[in-house]
Each structure stands twice: as C-alpha cells, then as structure tokens.
Amino acid sequence: MDHTRSSGILLHPTSLPGPYGSGDLGPSAYHFVDWLVVAGQSLWQTLPLGPVGMGDSPYMCLSAFAGEPLLIDLEELVRRGWLLREELDRHPRFDERAVRFGDVRSFRMEKLRSAADAFFGRGSADERSEFDRFCRAQRSWLDDYALFMALIGRSNGAEWCTWDPDLVKRKPAALKKARTELQDDVRFWEFTQWCFFRQWHALKKYANERGVRIVGDIPIFIAYQSSDAWANQHLFHLDKDLRPKFVAGVPPDYFSVTGQRWGNPLYDWKAMHEEQYAWWIDRIRTTLELVDVVRVDHFRGFAGYWEIPAEEKTAVKGRWVKGPGAKLFDVIQKKLGTLPIIAEDLGDITPDVIELRDRYDFPGMRILQFAFAGDVKNGFLPHNYVANTVVYSGTHDNDTTAGWFAAATERERVFVQRYLHTDGREIHWDFIRAASASVAVMAVFPFQDVLGLGTEARMNMPGQALGNWAWRFSWDQVNPTHAQRLYDITAMTNRTAADRLQLPSYPAGKAQP
C-alpha cells in the first residue's frame, strides 16, 4: 500500500445532496471529488457499498458483492433515454437533511423498474452487449444475488430458510424453475447491478484521475438474510433448520455489561479452508475492483472471534474461538498480491491480533476521541502513534467531534484543552490539526467534523436499532473557508503539495534551507 502521507474525508454517498431523497453517484458525487481536490484531500472513504437490508445498515447487506441500487444516478438513466425527464420531475418533496429510506426506496425502485423496462424494450445492440458481458463477468455471485432478490420479492421479504424446501436446499430443478418463473424480475436485479457498477467505475476513474483514492469498507461478517448465506450454506455454522447455530458479537466490557450480540452467522472456517478460501478471495478481489484501499471491519475476528449460541439473547455466554489468522491472508495474498488493507483493530486487542496485523504490514486505526479518557500513555494520543497508522477524529460509530466535546466529562474536556492548547470553541479544527500533524501515514475526518456539526449530524449510534445512517448535508452548509482551511492544515503537515500556501518569499541573498 502507498505509504505517502495523505488525508481525506469519510462520507458515505447517501449523505450527498440531491433532489431524490438520498445521495447517489450523480453530479454531487463528482462535485464532492472536485471539493476534495481543492481542499488538498487525496482520500474519499465510504461505508460498505452493498444493498442494505435490516435496519438500513450498510453493515447488514443483502450481498457481500452487489452494489446498492439506491445509489444509482437516475439522471444518467434519463440521458440514456431509459427514463423520461417528467418522470423524475414529479418526485415527492424529500427531506434535504435526512434519508427517509422507506420513501426513498419506494420512489427510486419504481424509477429503476421503469428504466429497466425501457432498456430491455429498446436498448441498443451495443448496450445489450455491454450488459451481457457484465453478467457473464460477474456470474459467480450475480446469478445467485438476482434470483435471491427476486425470491425475496415473491415471498414478501420472508427469510430464505422459510421458502419452499427445494429452493431452500437449492435443488437444481427448483432453481431452474424459479429462474424461468421470475425471469423478468431476475433481469431487473441484474440491470440494477450493471447500472451501479458502470456508474461507480466512472466515478472512481474521475476521482483517480484527480489524485483521489477511494477507501472502501467491508464487514468481516455477513447478514444471514443475504444471497451469500443462501448460496453458500456449507460455509456457515447452521443447524438442521438452516438457521445459525452461533452468532457474532463482542463480550461484555466497560461500555456494556451484556456485550453486543450482532446476530450475524459465523463462518465454518474448516469448510472455508477446504475450499482454499475461494469465497474470501472472490470477495476481496471484487471489492478491490471498486476501491483502491479497503478498511476491514472487526479485523480482530480473524485472529479470534466471540461465538455466541444463537438462542442466547445477550453476548454474556459467548466464548472466544480461534480464527483462521495467517492461513487466510497467506492464501489471499498469494492469489491477489500485496493487499491495500486498513485493519480496524479497535476493541479488545490481544497480542495475536497485533501479530497478524503486523505480519502483513497492515496499518491499524486510532480514534482521537478515544484519546482523553485515560492518561498520557493512552495509545490513542498522537504522541504514541507509529507511522503505519490511520488516524480518525471519529468514525461513523462516534458522535461528531463537536458533539463528543459537548458531552465529554469534565476530566476529558480539561485534558483535551490542555493537550491541544485550545479553549474548545473550534474543537473540530483542533482535532483535524492534531490528527494531520501526527506521524500517522493517513488521516481521515468525517465530513461532519469539517463542517463543525453537532450530535444532530451523527451517522450511527451503536446499539440503537432505528434512526441511524440517515444524515445528509446540503451544499449551502459548505463555504469556501472550509476547503481553504482544510487545505492549509493538510499542506502544512505535508499531506498534500504546499504550492498554494502563499508563504512570503525568502529574503534576497538568503539561501533556502
């Protein structure tokens, strides 16, 4: 991975402005890339890009390979002639500052179905050929995903283990019959993926050509209600009814006396090993076709993970189980080469996690908001970083920096004010400056922190089932001083070229050092 000092912004595309209820891969995405360039930023980090399922969480996707159809730029479909301008002009009055997923999904899916009908009815030969090539290239996951989504539609969202037994067990005759019966729906879901991948690659190309790398995100675990679990049942610990025997989570700690029960099915790592980790190789390969660097969520789970019996309502009665460790990454690296991975090494980190991370030279993570709850030896304080680190002012799971400071304990506020020599009135800029000045090779800031927003702009509250992932901004919240101020900090800390700093010239006759 490139170890040049750099910095960037964490912003999920759904948070972008736009007239159709949620951000997408349209004009605002390209404008945001342009803003990053002006601000001296060379990284755009997103959350997982897959189709969201339960709770609208990008960490509980319906597929580990597919893209989110809600991100498709509808304007591009108008330009292609597959949607009429008047169809889009008759959109509801959407909330400009929050994604109302139910309303947005209803509107956008209706327009995508209209576009698909037009494409299959009058698409050009070249367009149809491009679509067919995409479907062939992505067949290893796309066939199962498209049929899975069609079957979800027919069953009104029922869990796949409750479908017709022959479909649950994936008997070839039943699958063939379903593909025939649901042919139009299957083709629709293939169409959405073609549109997403085509538009995403165009956006990534635009960003890369301007010196901006895309940092993606993949959760270690997948959702049970996903095409991956249905299509690869033998790779998970499932019972005779094909429901999870065990689920993922983390043990009780200082923050939660009952721990966290996430509910994801757990991998059968023995079965994965017997197949030479082919599913994981395909997953990483597909992800790295979409992004330049990838953050792996809950990296510690590869060294050891918390196994909770599925019948337990909390994480208390779980146990630690050894993960695949180097066996997995040795095989992936042999197949794919050096991996541009950021290891999310937060939480209960043991020596085996550090050893696994360092074996492959993966940078770990540091969160500045965690730095002031302890003493001066706290590993999240900038003076304790090593260079192979990615520092964040906060992540999607944290409050905004302004919100964090407002709710901090008196000890934390005094500590941070003395450490950063600040009165706290612009704590978000203080954090951005401290992170940028650290030795960490990469520094990333939620866009909310650049804008100085409070708790109302928080993206996710862990443990809260509803009301997450909805935050959006509007361009009228962004003014030229945001980009200029961020550029100045970035250039002064050697994370971008300093040619626009406009410093005074050296005195005549004095040699430049």
Cite the active site residues: 297, 344, 397
Residue 441 phi, psi (nearest 5)? -70, -30
Residue 47 phi, psi (nearest 5)? -85, 175
User: What is the phi-psi region of residue 495: left when phi exceeds 0, alpha when psi lies from -120 to 50, beta otherwise?
Assistant: alpha
- In whole angstroms, how far apart are CA 199 and each of 64, 150, 251, 454? 19, 23, 40, 32
Residue 222 phi, psi (nearest 5)? -110, 170
The radius of gyration computed from the CA coordinates of the chain, to the nearest angstrom, equals 24
Residue 260 phi, psi (nearest 5)? -125, 125
User: Running DSSP on this structure, what letter comes out for residue 221?
Assistant: S
Q: What is the distance between the alpha carbons of residues 185 and 322, in angstroms, rounded to a whole number?
A: 42
Q: Which long-range contacts (CB under 8 A, 24 or more apart) does 179-184 make?
A: 179/147, 182/147, 182/150, 182/151, 182/154
The continuous run of DSSP H or E covering 364 comes out as strand 364-367
Q: What is the distance between the alpha carbons of residues 137 and 201, in angstroms, rounded to a whole number?
A: 15
Please enumerate in sequence order all residues whose Cβ is within 8 A of that of 435, keeping only pairs 6 or more positions apart, or say none: 7, 368, 382, 391, 392, 393, 443, 445
How many H-runs (helices) and E-runs (strands) does the chain carry? Answer: 19, 12
- In whole angstroms, how far apart are CA 50 and each of 30, 145, 251? 20, 12, 27
Q: Which amino acid is at 105?
A: R
The pair of three-digit structure tokens given for residue 419, joined into one six-digit string: 């450490």
